[in-house]
Amino acid sequence: MAALSSLAQSSRVFRGVFGNPDLRRVELAFVGFTAAEWATWIAILVFAYQAGGAAAGAIGVIQLIPAAVFAPFASVLGDRYRRERVLLASYLIQALTMGAMAAALFSGAPLPAIYAFAALSATSITLTRPAQGALLPSLARTPEELTAANVAAGWIESLSVFGGPALSGVLLGVWGPGAVFAAMSGALLCSALLAARIEFEDRSASATARTHAESAPGESGPSVLGELLGGFYALVGERRPRLVVCLMAAAFVVEGAMDVLLVVLAFRVLDFGSAGVGFLNAAFGVGGIVGAGVTTLFVARRRLAPSLLAGAASWGGALVMIGFFPSRIAAPILVGVAGIGRPLIDVAGRTLLQRVVADRLLSRVFGVLEGLYMAGVALGLTSVPLLLALLGGRATFFVSGVFLPPLFLLASRRLAEIDAASIVPEAKLMLLRSLPLFAPLSAPVMERLASRLVPVEVLAGTAIVRQGDPGDRFYIVSDGEVAVSKDGRPVASLEQGDFFGEIALLRDVPRTASVTALTNVRLYALERDDFLEAVTGHPLSAEAADKVTCARLDDQGA
């Protein structure tokens, strides 16, 4: 019954996702992107193999290394400009580069030129996921809707793992690699048209507000280099997102290894031949579709750490079992089980990052993740041949399989802490929603803000803030009553649901009044940086805060 209830709740939220016009457009545009990503990857590998067998492995590295370097730095665009416009630009650039690649292939351009276009095409692909990952929290109306949007993207990607190569195979067989790139260029133009129709009130921080949030009032904004490295700085300074990114990077290495392992399994272990490579890849893709179906339950379950652990166990355990039992019947089934793990890790990991990373840095953190994806796949591609030479086929599967589960198991306690910290009591959310300063914020941003509220207990007669002191916190009265005074004269009394402390933070001035507890008081405090990032990051929040500030200064006779 619990499972049926979860599925019913998930179904309701999914209907909400596709009933949200902007989320629907983002998801449909992502279909063209993922199809292009997988279809063109197969097409260029086939072209390289036909040009010379040794080049097939090299072209993968040629494409991935520049992309891995480019992604973390290009993602700063998503934290500086409107993210729906960055997403639109990414699709247009990808359509252009893939169209150029198609022209080069049809015209018989020299191999160095074709490989250069291939690297450019792969590099342009790294623009999309960071922009989309940072945009989704601004479009989602509830935390559950955000999870559902990520699950839908996981479904799309899993279907593309299966369908992209199949589409590529048809086009390759009839017209050749150039036709694949031409068709995918057209698909990306359709994605661009969908992205161009995204029309929403920007709930993410504007460029000016993000710069303000990253620097203290009165100080200059971050340097260009500081902005470019913002994603790395965030991961160095924050252990929660750092842990999630590191675990996902380990999974990327195994994903890259799978490309080679499936070829090894088909030729050296099972003696299936070339047809077996396609069969095993299809089995992995079917497993991914099943795994995407399992992620549907994420919507009704806030805790995501178990899904990460299950994904690692599924992927790693299947590879270990292939090493022990490489039979023609068991191996394809186990490959499918390995495929289940990919969407479990990817969807859960990306959703956790959206919960714990500050909005002003979200695109750049996803950019680092995208760069690690490219680097991890390249590392996996190059490491398997070395393991094969040292250990042989079956032992290589065993070593590849035991890589992930211990890492995720060692991190399980910290993952559980991240889960617990990201689940906010409804009472805190209701309190924030009642305040005009925060009411315009999107639900995921509100949830992250509520998780940073600090409870404060104050006895009657105690001074909470003193006039002239520097401002460091914003306060919300949860229970009790406080008195506001200026220059020794009473100004106002505040009760449950009222707030104070915003003037010093917003105007970067000393406290303009004193606040003393009239009764025993329970407060929630928000640190200066968290408050400024939330309020200055949304035009309507900033407008509401300015009105409140002006009214209170008038009341105080300032």
Q: What is the CATH number of the domain that holds 96?
A: 1.20.1250.20
At residue 209, does pLDDT exceed 50?
A: no
Look at residues 223, 256, 284 and tell me which one is the last residue of a structural domain.
Answer: 223
Name the β-bridge partners of 484.
492, 515
Alpha helices in 325-425 (DSSP H): 330-356, 362-391, 393-401, 404-410, 412-422
Q: Are residues 255 and 329 in the same domain?
A: yes
Is 422 in contact with 451 (CB distance < 8 Å)?
A: yes
Q: Are residues 66 and 200 in the same domain?
A: yes
Residue 121 pLDDT level (bands cut at 50, 70, 90): confident
Does 167 map to a domain? yes
What residue type is 546 in one-letter code? Answer: D
Does 109 map to a domain? yes
Burial 513-541 (b: 16+ CB within 10 A, else e): bbbbbeeebebbbbebebbbbbbbbbeeb
Task: Give 3-state DSSP helix, strand, coil % of the chain, rounded to 5.
Answer: 75, 5, 20
Q: Are residues 132 and 103 in the same domain?
A: yes
- Domain count of the chain? 3
Is 256 in contact with 379 (CB distance < 8 Å)?
A: yes
pLDDT at site 52: 62
Mean pLDDT for the stretch of residues 199-226: 48
At residue 259, does pLDDT exceed 50?
A: yes
pLDDT in tens, 282-340: 788 888 888 887 887 765 566 788 889 999 999 999 999 988 888 888 888 999 999 99
Select, from the ranges 269-273, 451-455, 509-513, the one with the highest average predicted confidence (pLDDT): 509-513
Q: Are residues 416 and 438 in the same domain?
A: no
**Chain-centroid distance, C-alpha 5:** 27
Residue 205 pLDDT level (bands cut at 50, 70, 90): very low
What residue type is 226 in one-letter code? Answer: G
Q: What percent of the chain has pLDDT over 90?
A: 27
Residue where the block lists tokens 């001035």: 509
pLDDT at site 300: 55
Look at residues 223, 258, 281 and tell me which one is the last residue of a structural domain.
Answer: 223
At residue 243, does pLDDT exceed 90?
A: yes
Distance (Å, whole) CA 331 – CA 109? 41
Closest CA to 71 of 376, 353, 368: 368
Is 509 in contact with 482 (CB distance < 8 Å)?
A: no
pLDDT at site 235: 84
Phi (first) and psi of residue 494, to 5 degrees: -125, 140
Mean pLDDT for the stretch of residues 470-496: 90
Q: Which helix (H) or strand (E) holds 492?
A: strand 489-494
264 vs 504 pLDDT, higher one:
504
Does 385 map to a domain? no
Residue 13 pLDDT level (bands cut at 50, 70, 90): low
Does 234 map to a domain? no
pLDDT in tens, 441-474: 766 677 778 878 888 999 999 999 999 999 889 9
24 vs 451 pLDDT, higher one:
24
| Cα dihedral 517, 520, 524, 526 sign | positive
Mean pLDDT for the stretch of residues 484-510: 88
Q: Are residues 147 and 87 in the same domain?
A: yes
Report the CATH number at residue 539. Answer: 2.60.120.10
Distance (Å, whole) CA 165 – CA 486? 71
Distance (Å, whole) CA 7 – CA 295? 11
pLDDT in tens, 35-68: 898 888 878 877 776 666 545 556 667 777 888 8
Q: Which helix (H) or strand (E) holds 287?
A: helix 274-294
Q: Are residues 122 and 182 in the same domain?
A: yes
Look at residues 168, 193, 223 and tell me which one is the last residue of a structural domain.
Answer: 223
At residue 201, does pLDDT exceed 60?
A: no
Residue where the block lists tokens 């019913």: 8
Is 339 in contact with 258 (CB distance < 8 Å)?
A: no
Does 369 map to a domain? no
pLDDT in tens, 73-104: 888 888 888 888 999 999 999 999 999 999 99
pTM of the model: 0.75
| Cα dihedral 208, 212, 218, 219 sign | negative
* Helix and strand element counts for the chain (H, E): 25, 8
pLDDT at site 403: 92
Name the β-bridge partners of 527.
473
Residues contacting 275, CB < 8 A, separation 6+: none
Does 230 map to a domain? no
Which residues form the domain of 481?
427-555
Cα distances (Å, whole numbers) of residue 242 to 248, 347, 357, 423? 10, 17, 10, 19
What residue type is 472 in one-letter code? Answer: D
Strand-strand pairing, 489-494 and 463-465: unpaired
At residue 195, does pLDDT exceed 90?
A: yes
Mean pLDDT for the stretch of residues 434-440: 81
pLDDT in tens, 361-400: 888 899 999 999 988 988 888 888 888 888 887 888 899 9
